[in-house]
Structure 1
Amino acid sequence: MRTRSAVCTSVGRWCLRHLQLVPVILLVGGAVLDYCTPPHFSAEAFYTAAPMTAAALLSLRATILAGIGACATDIALLTHFGLIGDSGGWSELAAVATVSALAIVVNRLMYYSQVRLQSARRVALAAQRAVLPQPPGSIGALRIAVRYQAAAKEAQIGGDLYGAQDTPYGVRCLVADVRGKGLNAVKVVAVAMGAFREAAEEEPSLVGVAARLERALLRERARRTGPERTEGFVTGVLVEIPYGDDVVRLINRGHPAPLLLHAGQVHSLEPAEPALPLGLAELGAAPDRIDTAPFPMGATLLLYTDGLYEARNRAGDFYDPAADLIGVVFTEPDALLDVLLAKVNHHTGGRIADDTALLAVTRTRSVSTDEPGIG
């Protein structure tokens, strides 16, 4: 037996597929109701609803046609009942005509608002691509994939960030989450990404990269005013995958622990010692410690922000990516992230409360030059 929510969902999908029929249904329904009831009963509400519905859902042409149809239907029924010359009839027709004219104005206002919104989205997307450029899909034996899911569909960028870079010391990655929202968070993202790109190329150790990030964030925070000057910080994980060595090195600064997926097993790479987030060095944080874990062929490293595991369902239960990915084998990081986002959306019912940044790195089998077709 179908549940009420399933029925409502089906009805909603049907309506979305047949939007152009909604004004027609209102007009036909109003005409039938008007014809089958006594003359003193009016279906004016149906006639005015039709053009307004078209204004909100359809094009200018459809809105004009709905308005003409509403006026024509009202005239036909008023004539049928002999009320076309009556003061009440003229009053009803004037109301329908006025609402039809207003519907055209509303349609145009909504159209121009949509144009402005689309322009803002394009600007936001350009800003995202500038601040968070798409990393290369592969670096040597590593395959890399990223996803960014904003809590607000109108937004394309927020306080979550990711980066992956080929350096003389190996492939270095960063996934981080800026405290706060809005423009200030985007500014911090730009500062953090700039510092990471430069430091990843120049610093021989992850400790040096973390120190450069710390200094850059402290300088940025000193320019702020109000609570952001004292409360701003960034949680993050720095990763280094050295060339020719099946290990991964990590520095975790108050961020959710990465997951290592291999042969259907999921391991949480918790830091040996907890550390404060970036930007809080004045609190007396201890020196950064590098944790090392095996990273065998076929394994995938998953980095993410707290929007993933803080996603809740209707009952308030948090999503558990580690438990949900046990027993599932992925050969490509893109497939992992697609499945993971689908699982989260299913868990939450499509209600996203926080931005989510995901970065997955898969170590594939190295190709030797003596294989057929190579060299």
Structure 2
Amino acid sequence: MEERQGRAGLLALVPGLLLVCGVLADVLGPVPYSGLPLLAAAPLVGCMVLPFRGAVITAVCACVVSVGTDLLVHRPVLALVVDLLDVAVISAIALWLKWVVRRQGRRFAAVRAVAEVAQRAVLPPLPAQVGALSVATRYECAYAEALIGGDFYAVQSSPFGVRALIGDVRGKGLPAVSTMAVATSTFREAAGRVPSLRALADHLDHALARYAADTGDTPDALEGFATAVLVEIRMEEGALRVCNRGHPPPYLIRDGEVRALEPAVAGLPLGLGLSESEVPPGTDTFAFHRGDFLLLVTDGVTEARDEKGTYYEPSTGLSGRGFHEASHLVDTLVADVTAWTGGQRQDDMAILVLTPRPTSPSAPSA
């Protein structure tokens, strides 16, 4: 931070140095008008490295110095006027560009603020603990300027165990955000009352299809659908149920071994408007014990490519590693994907990790 501030301070001196050099070139140089380019460059540089007020002061100083220098070297009045017009016109253009950029910056800041509010509304921060599970999440946009994309997740405690959802809406922009809002709100409303994971997936499917119909989308347009994985964990049974609807599979990490939980029957994405008979059943059950980690990701992880075009594979990249908590696994995965892509991420990335909470020793009786 101090180094950056020192560099900014040095850059702020450049417009003044250009003015001084322009005067010296005019007074001491052998060629007439040799200092004019330096005087004209001072307002341009000032607009790049100084705040707006400082840029205005630099432009005024450049005009004054131009007139003063021409008077000092006894140039004709016509030459003085031409020099002044050159510096004044360049200064005016530079100040206008700076004003436009500053206005756009303010608009961009307002858009970022709205996007952040939308993100917190659609994807509110999840608690670190839900039921008997510890929870860790991460949302990384492909572009730093965008705070929200088409990926989503949610975790809900229910009478049937802890239920979680992760998914990816087709498309980007406001339509994707709206579909995300429908998916997450429907999940939160239904997760505590719908008895089976398959029925919960069907409920989400109907909600997204109904929303697409209300907004004018048709199934043929293939807009408004989402891939998703729904999971249900019952620690008292040591059971993990997974319903995969066209999404990358979750990963079960146990004792350094990473296993992709592929569905026995592939399901179709949510919101396509198909009848129940056209959607194959797909709920698989796996063992889930203390010390296990369940990793759910979007295709921003599984389709992350290196410079050779090779996809990142979590079951290989995370194999043989030990993780002491859910957030440790999330941090490790983000660092791996960033290193794999060289920081050039191609798609948004959402990560959700669930693991049983460590048992705390019982308090001594009084």
Shared fold (TM-score, shorter chain, > 0.5): yes
Q: In structure 1, how many angstroms separate the alpha carbons of the residues matched to 2:297 and 2:284?
A: 18
Structure 2 counterpart SS, 1:307:
helix
Alignment CA distance shift 1:264-1:37 (3 Å): farther
The question of whether the paired residues in 1 share the 8 Å contact of 2:18 and 2:41 is answered with: no
Q: What is the correspondence of 1:321-336 to structure 2 with a 5 Å cutoff?
A: 321-336=314-329
Structure 1 position 188 matched with structure 2 position 173: no
Q: Does 1:289 align with 2:290?
A: no
- Residue pairs, 1:122-133, within 5 angstroms: 122-133=113-124
Matches within 5 A, 1:53-92: 53-71=45-63, 74=66, 78=70, 82=73, 84-85=75-76, 87-92=78-83
> For the residues of structure 2 that align with 1:31 and 1:228, how far apart are their CA atoms?
69
Whether the 8 Å contact between 1:24 and 1:50 is mirrored in structure 2 is no
Q: Which amino acid aligns with 1:64?
A: V
CA distance in 2, matches of 1:50, 1:316: 46
For 1:192-215, what per-residue CA distance to the aligned partner results, in whole angstroms no more than 9, with x for missing partners? Answer: 112111221111110110110111
How far apart, CA to CA, are the structure 2 residues paired with 1:124 and 1:92?
48
Question: Contact conserved, 1:255 with 1:305, CA < 8 A, in 2?
Answer: yes
- Residue range with higher mean Cα deviation, 155-164 or 43-52: 43-52
Measure how far apart 1:235 and its partner are.
0.5
Q: Residues 143 and 364 of structure 1 are in contact (CA less than 8 Å); yes or no, is this contact kept in structure 2? A: yes
* Secondary structure of residue in 2 paired with 1:257: coil
- Confirm whether residue 269 of structure 1 aligns to residue 248 of structure 2: no
Of 49-58 and 136-145, more deviation after overlay is shown by 49-58
Structure 1 residue corresponding to 2:348, chosen from 346, 350, 355: 355
Deviation at 1:86, TM superposition (A): 5.5
Consecutive unaligned residues of structure 2, counting only runs of 5 or more, are: none
**1:348–1:329 distance in 2 versus 1, CA, 3 Å:** same
Unaligned runs of 5+ in 1: 1-13
Instruction: Look up the match of 1:114.
Output: 105
Q: In structure 2, how many angstroms separate the alpha carbons of the residues matched to 1:324 and 1:331? A: 17
Contact 1:22 1:50 survives alignment (8 Å):
no
Equivalent pair of 1:31/1:43 in contact (CA under 8 Å):
no
Q: Structure 1 residues 273, 38: CA separation in 2 closer, same or farther (over 3 Å shift)?
A: farther
Distance 1:29 1:312, change over 3 A: farther
- Could you tell me which residue of structure 1 aligns to residue 128 of structure 2? 137
Contact 1:303 / 1:360 at 8 angstroms: preserved in 2?
yes
The RMSD of aligned alpha carbons is 3.0
Give the TM-score of the pair, scaled to structure 1: 0.84
Match of 1:342, as an amino acid? A
2:294 to 297, 301, 304: 301
Q: Secondary structure at the match of 1:303?
A: strand
1:318 aligns with 2:311: yes
- Contact 1:27–1:70 at 8 Å: present in 2 too? no
| Partner deviation per Cα, 1:223-248 (whole Å, 9 max, x = no partner) | 34467763132100001111413232
Give the deviation of 1:63 after TM superposition. 1.6
- Alignment map for 1:142-291 (pairs within 5 Å): 142-225=133-216, 230-232=221-223, 233-280=225-272, 282=274, 285-291=278-284
Alignment of 1:39 onto 2:31? yes
- 2: CA distance, partners of 1:227 / 1:46: 62
Compute the displacement of 1:317 (Å).
Answer: 3.1
Counterpart amino acid of residue 18 in structure 1 = R
| Structure 1 contact 52–103 (Cα < 8 Å) conserved | yes
- Partner Cα separation in structure 1 for residue 71 and residue 320 of structure 2: 72
Distance 1:211 1:294 in 2: 24
SS at match of 1:256: coil
Q: Which moved more, 1:157-166 or 1:350-359?
A: 350-359
Deviation digits for residues 86-123 of structure 1, max 9, x if unmatched? 63454233222332244334333333322222222112
Distance 2:309 2:49 in 1: 34
Once the two structures are TM-superposed, the CA of residue 84 in structure 1 deviates from its matched residue by 4.4
| 2:8 match | 19
The amino acid across from 1:197 in the alignment is R
Contact 2:19 2:62 in 1 (8 A): no
- The 10-residue stretch of structure 1 (145-154 or 26-35) with the greater mean CA deviation from structure 2: 26-35
Partner amino acid for 1:28? L
- TM-score under structure 2 length normalisation: 0.86
